[in-house]
Amino acid sequence: IGLPPGGETFFNHLGGTVEVLTGTLRLPRGDSTGGTFIVAQGATLDLNSGSQFGSYSGTYNGSGAGVVELNSGMISSMGPGATFNLPNFHWNGGTISAGQVFNNTGTMRLQGSGGWGINGGGFTNSGTIIHDGTGVLQWGANAWMTNASGGIYDIKRDGNIANAGQIRNSGTFRKSGGSGEATIGTPAAEVYFRLLGGTVEVTSGTLKLGRSYPDSTGGTFIVGQGAVLDINGAASFPGEYTGTYQG
């Protein structure tokens, strides 16, 4: 719907339904306040048709076996925040700007090799995020991600998953794929990993946590047989930690 430059169309989604039964529909920028996405099996709804940005507030529910995706550009959460409750949201690239709360309550997959950008401190996962792409999370200044109570962040590959930034975990942070090591940050781009009562679970390979924050409050470690959780010898972990170990 419209292509920049010169032919751009604004699409404001104000509580209605966007339905894709076949092929791909690419939405342009706009100021949206909520609605429903219905995407049939084999069809795709692309939330950004170019380098421009789209603004979202309110709640977006989805159904169907097809895919809602973000490939490039930026989508921004606007006041009072945006909630995405989508069964198949594929984040293949681009940036989510979360100056206001952006809450994933459905299932989001991080795919591809180009990486994913997070701006602001409002990015929240209360549903499931499956991280199986080979790119890394990139963070804007003072940006972080909250994995809320009930949320699951599931890493299914090896290698570094993030550069700089901060992860606040009150839910389940899991590595369930890849027989090697997954790291959260590097010495040159440290990621602060705050344990705020949630669970860190490793069922496959090794998970090396980033640097802990002094205000971590405790949590639970679950390590399966043959798996390893490396809590980083230079980190401090205030609070109380319990564990179940076969690894």
pLDDT in tens, the chain (247 residues): 766 555 678 889 999 999 999 999 999 889 999 999 999 999 999 998 765 678 999 999 999 999 999 999 999 999 999 999 999 999 999 999 999 999 999 999 999 999 999 999 999 999 999 999 999 999 998 899 999 999 999 999 999 999 989 999 999 999 999 999 999 988 888 899 999 999 999 999 999 998 877 778 999 999 999 999 998 755 667 788 899 888 7
Closest CA to 198 of 174, 182, 178: 174
Cα separation, 87 vs 99, in Å, equals 24
- The answer to whether 98 touches 77, Cβ cutoff 8 Å, is yes
| φ, ψ dihedrals at 226, nearest 5° | 80, -5
- The answer to whether 203 touches 187, Cβ cutoff 8 Å, is no
Give the dihedral sign, CA 39/44/49/51: positive
At 87, list the tokens: 């069964």
Site of tokens 């429903």: 36
Task: Return the pLDDT at 186.
Answer: 87
pTM: 0.94
Give the dihedral sign, CA 35/77/175/44: positive
Task: Return the pLDDT at 52.
Answer: 66
Helices (H), the chain: none
- The answer to whether 154 touches 133, Cβ cutoff 8 Å, is no
HSE-up of 155 (CA within 13 Å, CB side)?
31
Query: 65: part of which helix (H) or strand (E)?
Result: none
Task: Return the pLDDT at 51.
Answer: 57
Hey, is 88 helix, strand or coil? Answer: coil
CA distances from 187 to 32, 119, 164, 178 (A): 40, 22, 9, 22
